Amino acid sequence: MRPKVLLLGGVSEALAMARHLAAEDIYSLAGLGRVPQDLPCQVRVGGFGGAEGLARFISEAGIQVLVDATHPYAAQISANAARAAQLAGIACWALRRPGWQAQAADDWREVADWRELIHTLAPFQRPLFTLGREPLEHLHEIPEHQHWTVRCLQQQPATPRAEIIGARGPFSLESERELFARLQCDVLISKNSGSAATDPKLQVARERGVPVLVLRRPELPAVDREFSDGQSLLAALTARRLG
Ligand code: NAP
């Protein structure tokens, strides 16, 4: 018999997978981004109330396979998924997208958290932040010798010492080249998402000899099966359905 799937989304591969789910399957989103209206499966939006809430949802909805296709830095929901699947006694499969690898000409410096990031940033003057909303909470702490540019999903007005660019990837190589040239940024700050939609910035940093401060990936829990891409996860789901 085919298993009923709960797919936890949050990255583009998850949406691509959701397009191949069946009518009884469920695609789940946290509710921060756009909610697609054209999927063949059910869509639910919002948290479950921790691992226990997710386990309850799994049991009540008769879910047989939980698929964690959330962002590599969304550590809480991934931990909840692994725990909830255990509690509910079902399999947890996960998309674990490989990180980007530095190349010979790259100057990447890994930082563990915001505190270490700010410390490492001290010698620079024109940082470009591309790691989400967190810098917006620190705009009042910008040192006098720095001017920040923050690119994130949220658009908001510039301040005297910061420009905020509201934008959603993918970003082309050409547009990233133009952005770096306009800003004259001397350091790039990034998560290591491993996404092809946002990696042109790394090439431009390489071309311009701009160092990259990379926020370390969080630890994610072990699950029953891990896949490095959505296609192979989908193929395994299909095989399980047929088997
Ligand atoms: P997080 O810290 O790991 O999760 C926070 C809470 O959001 C979870 O405990 C859960 O609430 C709820 N949640 C997260 N993903 C969910 C999903 N797919 N369906 C239902 N509830 C979900 O996550 P985050 O870093 O804030 O990211 C939120 C969402 O944005 C995730 O789905 C993630 O994949 C996506 N995203 C994150 C990043 C990033 O850099 N962190 C980047 C791009 C996209 P309950 O405990 O109440 O269930």
pLDDT digits over 208-223, tens only? 999 999 999 999 999 9
Give yes or no for residue 28 CB within 6 A of ligand 1: yes
Q: Which two tokens stand for residue 109?
A: 């410096």
Question: What fold, for 5-98+218-242?
Answer: Rossmann fold (3.40.50)
DSSP-assigned letter for residue 204: H
Residue type, 70: T
Q: What is the pLDDT at residue 105?
A: 87
Give yes or no for residue 218 CB within 6 A of ligand 1: no
Rounded to the nearest 10 degrees, the angle between the axes of helix 200-208 and helix 173-183 is 50
Ligand 1 centroid–CA 181 distance in Å is 34
Mean pLDDT of 64-81: 98
Closest atom of ligand 1 to 76 CA is 3
Residue type, 69: A
- 0.75 surpassed by pTM: yes
Best CA proximity match to 96, nearest among 21, 170, 190, 193: 193
Per-domain residue ranges of the chain: 5-98+218-242, 108-215
Domains 5-98+218-242 and 108-215 share a fold: yes
Mean pLDDT of 109-136: 97
Q: What is the pLDDT at residue 243?
A: 59
Question: What fold, for 108-215?
Answer: Rossmann fold (3.40.50)
Chain centroid to Cα 170, Å, comes to 13
pLDDT-derived band at 32 (thresholds 50, 70, 90) equals confident
Give yes or no for residue 194 CB within 6 A of ligand 1: no
Hey, whose CA ends up nearest to atom 15 of ligand 1? 30
